[in-house]
Amino acid sequence: MYHVGIDIGSTASKVAVLKNREVIETMLMNTGFSSIVTSEAILKDLNKSGINKENSRIIATGYGLDDCTGERTNEILVDENADDILRAISDRYLSINCSVMTPNGGGLENTKNMAEKYKVDGVIDMVLQACHTFNIESVNMGKMMDEIGVPFLKLETDYSTADSGQIETRIAAFIEML
């Protein structure tokens, strides 16, 4: 069984493949303009190495984040041909899946759609302590993932490394549970 960790960031994407707890392969590539194109390229490279969904557990993080930034937010473009360009700009910014824009059903629904589209094994909701509205919304996210049968882990943290050991332990336990 392979364990694959993927981080698709806004500028760079990283992959680590482990077998028997040993790193056997790593990849680093530019994310480019589309996280979807990048994720497809990563899966193609993994398949060339004989790594696929049947013989591995894959954990992905990074650009799939769907809060005030992320995949959906970057797909929402301003209608440059709108009669009222200021209205078009405001419509775009009011469409962002930010928990401050309550209720944020679009954010919950989009995460559900991404979980189904990418056939994820589990969802980790990373909540920064400074964003209380996402912390509250995480309860609904957990309920939604439970409804579709996707394991869910909520991680609350800040920008420090003080809780890195605890986070590592919780993620390891989550992976084992999958």
Q: Please give the share of the chain, as a percent, with pLDDT higher than 70.
A: 89
Of the pLDDT bands very low, low, confident and very high (cuts 50, 70, 90), residue 13 is: confident
In our burial notation (b when 16+ CB lie closer than 10 A, e otherwise), range 1-25 reads ebbbbbbbeeeebbbebbeeeeeee
Q: What is the mean pLDDT of residues 41-49?
A: 92
Arithmetic mean of pLDDT over the chain: 83
Residues 86-138 have pLDDT tens digits of 999 888 877 777 777 667 777 788 888 888 887 888 888 888 787 777 788 88
> Using an 8 Å Cβ cutoff, are 28 and 46 in contact?
no
